[in-house]
Chains A and B, each alone.
Chain A
Amino acid sequence: MPGPEPPGADRPLNVSILTQGAYLIVSIHTALDDSQMLQLREHLIAQVGRQRSRGIIVDVAALDVLDSFATRTLTELAEMARLRGAETVVVGIAPEIAVAMVRLSLQLNFVHTALDLEEGLELLGELTGLSDREALVRGSRRAD
């Protein structure tokens, strides 16, 4: 179920946001500019509250660069999401990007990282204490 475009977006974001049970799965398809990054962050924070999400996975495998602004925005996203009750895991950082990031001293403080989506889901399970069933097959929580 792809998420709707953020309200008031003047350009379509090349991002799909899937809701999977208690988690939001965000897949970034192409490089985003600074304002789009902010737009994405805002949208995700809103969504976390609306859907009572417990975790966010941001998949950056399609990106060939993560610059300082993107890194900071992701860090801020993680902080904000945590304040609203969701943990953030960034997955799919390619080896070259990892090397470039440490060369430039870009750090993802407070952000968890995992190899790929699968690992990210597992890590979120550990972080939130939800079993796979609770996390992924969940319709009752919104109703109660």
Chain B
Amino acid sequence: MMTEQADMNGLLLPELVAHLREHRTALRQEWATRITDAHLLSSMTAQEVFSEATAVYDNYVEVLETGSVEALQHYARDLSERIIPRGVETHEVVGIVLLLRDVLARSLFEKYHQDFALLNRVLDAYEPAANRIANTVAVSFVDQRERVIRQQQDSILELSTPVLQVRERLLILPIIGVLDSPRANQLTEQLLLGIRSHRAKVVVVDITGVPDVDEAVANSLVRTVDASRLMGADVIITGLSAKIAQILVTIGVDLNKVHTVGDLQGGIEEAERRLGFQVTRISDART
């Protein structure tokens, strides 16, 4: 069965490819129209859609002809790189490739509708190749997207915990955004290294910008405070939102050893007091 099919494919595919080449203009236009009708790739202009459609169409026919998806893979990665920053979603990419498959299948129906047996054989040749193409494009797109996400995650993690010295022996750590376990661990690490390198005695950790915590993260914060203590530094936590305060008390995190102050300003003032700094307005000092 397989060999028989392969033989027939050997004859049918060139015919198929010739047909697609011959009707390139009409089919490509049909496809572009259907993309617009389905409201796919709405973030791109009609012209851009048309030029990408042309490139995808030619690649598509080439894959049918040669059976090698490598060039298409390369193109799909390239395309993904261009359209991901513009907010094109996975369903759009999968959608347009499936539309092309449908458009071409329709044109085959039209061409071979008088000979049902032949149509069947043509579809036998066409469908596996078409599915493979759809697969390749979708996988390339998702791969590329995941790569972008991973890169972004890495850079977020790198940027996420600045340790800043505001006075001698006084560090602040403003934390902004979601605090999950990996980030909490990274925070502990950065804080302890910061304590050692800056010889800090007081650290103010400001969590005003943290929308939410869970039990694991809360416990991690408490452990960070304990570990800092072991290295000789006091930690003051500031900016606990009403929501976080409720969460902490509800889940019963032991906060006895954690010193908290309402806001960052209060925290810095408290820290200065402990370190023996006094901030005086110049005009007050003169009088």
Say yes or no: A113-B232 contact (C-beta < 8 A), given A95-B227, A102-B226, A103-B223.
Answer: yes
B195 within 8 A of A: yes
Say yes or no: A115-B223 contact (C-beta < 8 A), given A95-B196, A98-B192.
Answer: no
Contact partner of B231 (CB less than 8 A), chosen from A103, A107, A113, A123, is: A113
Contact partner of A101 (CB less than 8 A), chosen from B189, B193, B227, is: B227
Q: How far is the CA of A118 from the CA of B199 in the complex (A)?
A: 11
Per-residue A-contact encoding for B211-239, CB less than 8 Å = 1, 0 else: 00000000000011011111111000000
A108 within 8 A of B: yes
Tell me which residues across on chain A come within 8 A of B233, comparing CB atoms. 115
Main secondary structure of the interface of B (DSSP, over half): helix
Interface range on chain B (Cβ under 8 Å from partner): 10 to 19
Per-residue B-contact encoding for A116-144, CB less than 8 Å = 1, 0 else: 10011001000000000000000000000
B208 within 8 A of A: no
B189, B226, B231 interface centre (most CB from chain A within 10 Å): B231
Q: Which of B172-207 contact A (CB under 8 A)?
A: 188-189, 192-193, 195-196, 199, 201
Q: How far is the CA of A10 from the CA of B283 in the complex (A)?
A: 69
Tell me which residues across on chain B come within 8 A of A97, comparing CB atoms. 230
B220: min CB distance to chain A, Å: 9
Are A115 and B193 interface neighbours, CB within 8 A?
no
Tell me which residues across on chain B come within 8 A of A93, comparing CB atoms. 230-231
Are B227 and A99 interface neighbours, CB within 8 A?
yes
Interface range on chain A (Cβ under 8 Å from partner): 20 to 34
B63: min CB distance to chain A, Å: 53
Are B199 and A98 interface neighbours, CB within 8 A?
no
A91 within 8 A of B: yes
B201: min CB distance to chain A, Å: 8
Are A102 and B232 interface neighbours, CB within 8 A?
no
Per-residue B-contact encoding for A4-31, CB less than 8 Å = 1, 0 else: 0000000000000000000000000000
Tell me which residues across on chain A come within 8 A of B229, comparing CB atoms. 113
Nearest residue (CB) in B for A122 is B201
Contact partner of A102 (CB less than 8 A), chosen from B193, B199, B223, is: B223
Q: Which of A66-117 contact B (CB under 8 A)?
A: 90-91, 93-95, 97-99, 101-103, 107-108, 113-116
A46: min CB distance to chain B, Å: 27
Are A119 and B199 interface neighbours, CB within 8 A?
yes
Say yes or no: A119-B227 contact (C-beta < 8 A), given A95-B193, A98-B192, A99-B192.
Answer: no
- Measured CB to CB, the residues of A under 8 A from B are 90-91, 93-95, 97-99, 101-103, 107-108, 113-116, 119-120, 123
22 sampled A-B residue pairs with Cβ under 8 A: A93-B230, A95-B189, A95-B193, A95-B227, A95-B231, A97-B230, A98-B226, A98-B227, A98-B231, A99-B189, A99-B192, A99-B223, A101-B226, A102-B223, A102-B224, A102-B227, A114-B232, A115-B196, A115-B231, A119-B201, A119-B232, A123-B232
